[in-house]
Amino acid sequence: MISTEPAVLVLEDGKRYAGRAYGARGRTLGEAVFATGMTGYQETLSDPSYAGQIVLQTAPHIGNTGTNDDDLESAKIWVAGYVVRDPSRMVSNFRATRSLDDDLVSGGIVGISGVDTRAITRHLRSLGAMRAGIFSGDDFELSDSEQLAIVRDAEDMAGRNLSKEVSTPERYTIDAVGERIGSVAVLDLGVKTSTLRYLAQRGFDVVVLPESVTTEEVVALEPSALFYSNGPGDPEASERHVQLLRDVLAEKIPYFGICFGNQLLGRALGFGTYKLPFGHRGINQPVLDKTTGRVEITSQNHGFAVDAPREGVVDSPAGFGRVEVSHLSLNDNVVEGIRCLDIDAFSVQYHPEAAAGPHDSMYLFDRFRDMVLAIDKGEPQTEIHSIIDGKNQ
Amino acid sequence: MPRREDIKSVLVIGSGPIVIGQACEFDYSGTQACRVLREEGVRVILVNSNPATIMTDPDFADATYIEPITWQVIETIIAKEKPDAILPTLGGQTALNAAIDLHKHGILEKYDVELIGASFEAINKGEDRQIFKQLVLDAGADVARSHIAHTVEEAVEFALDLGYPLVVRPSFTMGGLGSGFAYTETELRRIVGDGLHQSPTTEVLLEESILGWKEYELELMRDTADNTVVVCSIENVDPVGVHTGDSITVAPALTLTDREYQNMRNIGIDIIRAVGVDTGGCNIQFAIDPANGRVIVIEMNPRVSRSSALASKATGFPIAKIAAKLAIGYHLDEIPNDITKVTPASFEPTLDYVVVKVPRFAFEKFPAADTTLTTTMKSVGEAMAIGRNYTQALQKALRSLEKRGSSFHWEPLDASKDELLALASVPTDGRIVTVQQALRAGATAEEAFEATKIDPWFIDQIVLINEVAEAIASSENADTNMFLLAKEHGFSDAQIAALRGFGEKEVREVRHILGVRPVFKTVDTCAGEFPALTPYHYSSYDQETEVEPSERRKVVILGSGPNRIGQGVEFDYSCVHASFALSDAGFETIMINCNPETVSTDYDTSDRLYFEPLTLEDVLEVIHAESQSGELVGVVVQLGGQTALGLAKGLKAAGVPILGTTPEAIDLAEERGLFSKILDDANLLAPKNGTASDFTGAVTIAEDIGYPVLVRPSYVLGGRGMEIVYDSPSLEDYFSRMAGQGIIDPSHPLLVDRFLDDAIEIDVDALYDGHELYVGGIMEHIEEAGIHSGDSSCTLPPVTLGREVIDRVRIATLAIAQGIGVQGLLNVQFAIGQGILYVLEANPRASRTVPFVAKALGIPLAKAASRIMVGSTIAELKDEGMLPVVDGSIVPMDSPIAVKEAVLPFKRFRTKDGLIVDSLLGPEMRSTGEVMGIDRDFPRAFAKSQEAAYGGLPTSGTVFVSVSDRDKRAIVLPVLRLLELGFDILATAGTAEVLNRNGITARIVRKYSEGASTDGDEPTVVDLINRNEVDIVVNTPSGSSARADGYEIRAAAVAADKPLFTTIAQLGAAVASFEATREGFDVSSLQEYAIARAGRL
């Protein structure tokens, strides 16, 4: 039977949800968010973008297929805390090597189960993501007001820079798979294993750089392109990475970014970013490619978004030439991709590498590759842009 | 792309009668399609032979043709209506096959009509197994190794390569008809032989066995911009080997990692693209080897399927509706999500709950049938339940089946662990309970897995349920924690009561005192990410309820639960109509039902939908939730068949107002003694009768009133357990067979009636409001009394009853309505024999024939009944124009004749030896569905009904006749007519003698029991039927014994798909219709009939 040890989820607005202790015992603090994917809990947990967040899974049954080494998206579990309804009592999958419970305990992840996850989701949807804490073991014994005070003392996600926590301490390289076409410098702001794998599979030597890298170091690598990964935190608090990007773009190095990398491109081009009320975290998110009119079902995980004009072509306020919003969320019209028309740079807010999620957008890695090839061949700017905007496909 | 302007009219093809494998889910999809197309301003022309459907309601199309679904009839309709396009993807395999026929006969080209939804090429790619296999391989996916065979010998040859066991699948059949596993060459020969016959293209696919693999389904949709979404994943709890329609299934898939799921999703998208479905949906089935994850594509349906209906209800994403919009040109992102209103349909629903579907079987109707589940679908219906976790959903689904023993129980074990494991190793109805018992008996989860190959995760969930049961039983007190634990895992009050040795009522009282009540969550397609504006709810023992308060006057309508024989789409029709009528009258309508195939469980039908089991506990909780605001006017119980009716007393006892006829009055009709008094008071006769609760009592009564007697348990629907008994040994046999089913006991006595030979049976549907009787229709049965009314064909208006008889029927109906105190609908069955009118039974509720009456005469009985239940009078409804001024007892001479014919499922059922079960009609209902033929006279209408039900009657060839002694006189005239029409006559010796003496030349053929002559020159009739040398079989059963010959003849006829007449009355009607058939059919729409009817008034 499942544990009957008590635990409580406390939200900063004073709401309390009593449940059972899950994973490690103790206390954890973070921003409470909900994720709606029905598969891929292991990928979600090991996605560095979730650093600092207490993640609630809306799918009730979690852990059924256990965990394995192949499905990890990074070396460890990053979520600050985990909220589920019905954790599995056993593991059933031929690839599983251990249970999710094992991983949570060994990773020191405090969780809670047996709560009305839908009620919490609806609450967060109405009031927005907010600070929260999970208390179990000895910390469960703290008084309600003590627990609430602890939650309210925690750091807010807005204005928070988490890149240092998730980035690689040392540079490392992954060799291209198959025919090598060049190299890509990846700024690790919380990069996922799948992203690196897909880049290598497109023929790039992938050089993964710590977030502290300087412009000079990047330029010295003479990469075919620069890539900014996904990652946690408020893009407004990452001014150094924005400046790095501006400097590299000024060096005419092509750029591709995903998620956080989209927000930072937006800021580098001179647009603002803002915090979404409760974010987009799911693997069923429809995105419209404005050029082709096609809809792709995407994997998303972002709490911030770029504030750029949704229609038409505008000039980059930071002086990088013409820019347009290339992709929009069909659910709420949030900017999901931007593209430069006068420099070789584009990015998307969602996750073409999926993991977890549908593979509909995998073609973006091909576009990136084609763009780099065309630049190498010295194709004219117009040709390069018809690659980026998909008109050539 | 916005909607295509070049499509101004569309012909929608329905799915015809309800049969196993193709049930009312296609009424749901067709109804949605018709609604959508009309909303879009498209003129809708509909053809469907099934009058019990909601889609054939004249309000849903501009021209509704209740006509046989054949390419010839459809051509006539096309020539008349000139549609721009045909939509064949929402009417199951029937519609798809009709579309293929239209294409092959050049009709589409001739009239320049376009197929929308799926092109002929796409249909062909999806359905032709060889092409499909190549296409899957081209998409980089895998298929089971296989060969195509066109002859039995070829199949035997291929089997050497594939090894046994292997799977046989005929091409172009639905519901897996004709397919199966062959473990030996003998079995292979039999299954392939059948399969070749069932396949319109005489081909079968032989496949390597993937028995025991995990089975999955994906529901996909694609538009012309190549936008593709996966609406739902469905996991079969029963592994490969059991037809998905017979499997317990769960949504979403629960035992896949994201990698495995995305791999399957990628394959699915590649396939829908390669097949070329670009304006609709498709369903793809997969098998996954649990040992290594190898994925095999089993098959795809390039159309809306049974699983699409399930997926729509499971997710809130209305597949059929969206498919219809895609078919007329829209793209997914141009269609709003119905539930959130603000987000588009181009997304993939995500669930924060678990949905479980369980099949409903009817093996009790076919005692000889082999109950092993195979790749041929055998279930007749299904129930779905939604819970916040698997255990909750599973237990709710099992109790939704309303079948004794279908839920988990903890009574003393009646078999050992090994016996139970052995039982569980063969898939049958109720295997999941056997697994639960085996685990109780000490089997380990591994042993249960080895026996069943059910994924260990699902086995563990049963272990969990057993552990919770143990905790409930051993809990010191029935306290809040105990209740919360029990309810969290779906235990009903009845189960808790049994575990703790209390009554259900007491358990509920304690629970309510403790304040343990369910909350109601919402199916919203998005796991709470966006607000849901459509109140589609399910119960859960959780923390927050989402029922929005409403100050309106509310009416709760109880649906009819899972389809079963005797209770099907007809009752859903009535419930849906009540919802429409009461909504129009200003009430807030609240539907409770658990059948995912239906229109009633479409969230568009009622103001609020609760997808809940129809048990007293679950219904009371919904009523409690809805009573928190507004005024609950009452509950409608008389439209949902026995399911809803059975809850009336309990609801009333709990203080819930029942609308219409009171539960006491319902009792009056059901209770033999009380009903006799009503008849006595009105000077009406019933066949001599009595009631008995045991065998001795029954014999005494039977001997008193004289054999043959008709016996039946009280309070059953569909004639369950009803039989004609000719002597006391048979009566004893009957009791031994009924024993242990719990349907005969002192509180539910056996009814014993004198059986009326040679009487004509009459069915009446009427309304009564306490002042006035309104006859909906008087239906004359074509078969003699003794055949269940649901299985017998009937005609409306009657064609052989005189004015005077009709007057007597009317007066008798009024007297009964008054005597019972009906407020709403009443169905009375009469028999008239030798000029005497007998009352057989009266049911103060909606009958199966309500929709038939509505289609045949244009009288909306269910709508009117629902209004009467909330206080309107018949006079008011006439003033309003809802009811025609003249009722259905007087039908003008020039009105059309409508014939209803039943469709029987005998072909689906085999005995353990592989033989067909007996196809004899009797007082127990066995049909799954019905068709209607309507035309200007009886022969034409009858011919249409036969065409629609059985594919028509031959107009020449050989007729085999063998009748019982009592039918020998009556056989002469019809056979003479057959001879004149040019048929050859073949007869057994006894029948031939009678015919020859009457001047009819009949060739004598040997009986089956006589065997063929040693030289083989004189075969038996069964040999001739098997050799395809007989075109029509007439065989009436003789008395109680010596049925073996008859059985073999009938089984052969059914297996060879030959028209079979088991009563002389049927034969007479058929003979009359031969000439009509020869000319081909004229067609008229219900709307045209309505105009003619209005003109007559």
Q: What is the DSSP string of B222-277?
A: E-TT--EEEEEEEEESS-TTS-GGGS-EEES--S--HHHHHHHHHHHHHHHHHHT-
DSSP state of B548: P
ipTM of the complex in this document: 0.97
Percentage of residues of chain B with pLDDT beyond 90? 69
Contact B352 A36 (CB under 8 A): yes
DSSP state of B838: E
Residues B851, B861: Cα–Cα separation, whole Å? 8
The two three-digit tokens of residue B1037, written as one number = 């059963």
Mean pLDDT of B985-992: 92
Question: Any idea how long chain A is?
Answer: 393
Beta strands in B1001-1097 (DSSP E): 1003-1004, 1032-1035, 1060-1061
Contact A297 B348 (CB under 8 A): yes
The pLDDT score that the predictor gives to residue B715 is 66
Distances (CA, A) of A296 to A367, B220, B248, B850, B857: 15, 14, 32, 47, 51
Among chain A residues, the shortest Cα distance to B290 is held by A94
The pLDDT score that the predictor gives to residue B729 is 85
B316 to chain A: which residues are within 8 Å by CB? none
Residue A1 pLDDT class (50, 70, 90 cuts): very low
The two three-digit tokens of residue B495, written as one number = 């189960």
pLDDT exceeds cutoff 60 at B1042 = no
- Give the count of beta carbons closer than 10 Å to the beta carbon of residue B804: 9
Contact B527 A354 (CB under 8 A): no
Residues B480, B1068: Cα–Cα separation, whole Å? 68
The two three-digit tokens of residue A290, written as one number = 């404005």
Amino acid at B591: M
Minimum-distance CB partner of B347 among A42, A284, A354 = A284
Minimum-distance CB partner of A65 among B255, B347, B351 = B255
- Give the count of beta carbons closer than 10 Å to the beta carbon of residue B995: 23
Contact B258 A122 (CB under 8 A): no
Interface check for A331 against chain B (CB to CB < 8 A): the answer is yes
B603-660 pLDDT, tens digit per residue, is: 999 999 999 999 999 999 999 999 999 999 999 999 999 999 999 999 999 999 999 9
Beta bridge partners of B784: B760
User: Taking each helix axis from N to C terminus, what angle separates B493-500 and B480-488, rounded to the nearest 10 degrees?
Assistant: 120
B333 to chain A: which residues are within 8 Å by CB? 286, 288, 295, 330
pLDDT exceeds cutoff 50 at B1040 = no
The pLDDT score that the predictor gives to residue A388 is 80
Optimal mutation site among B342, B352, B454, B521, interface A, most CBs of chain A within 10 A: B352
Cα torsion B1051, B1055, B1056, B1060: sign: positive
Distances (CA, A) of A292 to A390, A393, B227, B982, B1086: 7, 9, 11, 67, 46
pTM: 0.93
Amino acid at B915: L
Contact B117, B323 (CB under 8 A): yes
pLDDT exceeds cutoff 80 at B1044 = no
> B890 or B922: whose pLDDT is higher?
B890
pLDDT exceeds cutoff 80 at B719 = no
Shortest alpha-carbon distance between residue A123 and chain B (Å): 9
Strands A204-209 and A172-174: antiparallel
B402-407: Cβ within 8 A, 24+ apart: B402/B561, B402/B562, B402/B614, B402/B615, B402/B643, B403/B360, B404/B741, B404/B742, B405/B430, B405/B433, B406/B358, B406/B430, B406/B433, B407/B433, B407/B492, B407/B495
Contact B614, B562 (CB under 8 A): no
Residue B740 pLDDT class (50, 70, 90 cuts): low
The pLDDT score that the predictor gives to residue B497 is 97
Among chain A residues, the shortest Cα distance to B532 is held by A122
DSSP 3-state percent helix, strand, coil across chain A (nearest 5) = 25, 30, 40
The two three-digit tokens of residue B257, written as one number = 């990692």
Among chain B residues, the shortest Cα distance to A122 is held by B528
10 Å CB burial of residue B1096 (0-12, 13-18, 19+) is exposed
Residues B782, B800: Cα–Cα separation, whole Å? 10
Shortest alpha-carbon distance between residue A357 and chain B (Å): 7
Q: Where are the alpha helices (DSSP H) in B334-384?
A: none
Contact B261 A39 (CB under 8 A): yes
Three-point CA angle B1036, B1038, B1043, nearest 5°: 95
Minimum-distance CB partner of B262 among A93, A330, A359 = A359
B667-679 pLDDT, tens digit per residue, is: 888 887 889 899 9
Adjacency order of strands within the sheet including B214-222: B295-301, B280-288, B214-222, B228-236, B249-251, B354-360, B381-387
Distances (CA, A) of A64 to A7, A46, B540, B847, B982: 22, 17, 21, 47, 69
Mean pLDDT of B466-485: 96
Residues B594, A272: Cα–Cα separation, whole Å? 51
DSSP state of A24: B
B832: left (phi over 0), alpha (psi -120 to 50) or beta: beta
Contact A122 B227 (CB under 8 A): no
User: Taking each helix axis from N to C terminus, what angle separates B663-670 and B803-820, rounded to the nearest 10 degrees?
Assistant: 130
Question: In this structure, what is the dihedral angle of CA atoms B436, B440, B445, B451, given to the nearest 10 degrees?
Answer: -60
Interface check for B974 against chain A (CB to CB < 8 A): the answer is no
Mean pLDDT of B52-67: 97
Residue B1041 pLDDT class (50, 70, 90 cuts): very low
Beta bridge partners of B569: none
Residues B475, B472: Cα–Cα separation, whole Å? 5
B257 to chain A: which residues are within 8 Å by CB? 39-40, 42, 65, 71, 93, 95
A300 to chain B: which residues are within 8 Å by CB? none
Q: Which residues of A are catalytic?
A: 259, 351, 353
Tokens 């009024």 locate to B814
Minimum-distance CB partner of B457 among A36, A64, A283 = A64
Contact B229 A282 (CB under 8 A): no
Contact A54, A42 (CB under 8 A): no
The two three-digit tokens of residue B643, written as one number = 């399911």
Shortest alpha-carbon distance between residue A301 and chain B (Å): 13
B652-663 pLDDT, tens digit per residue, is: 999 999 999 999
- Give the count of beta carbons closer than 10 Å to the beta carbon of residue B334: 17
Contact A39 B332 (CB under 8 A): no
Shortest alpha-carbon distance between residue A138 and chain B (Å): 23
The two three-digit tokens of residue B672, written as one number = 């033999």
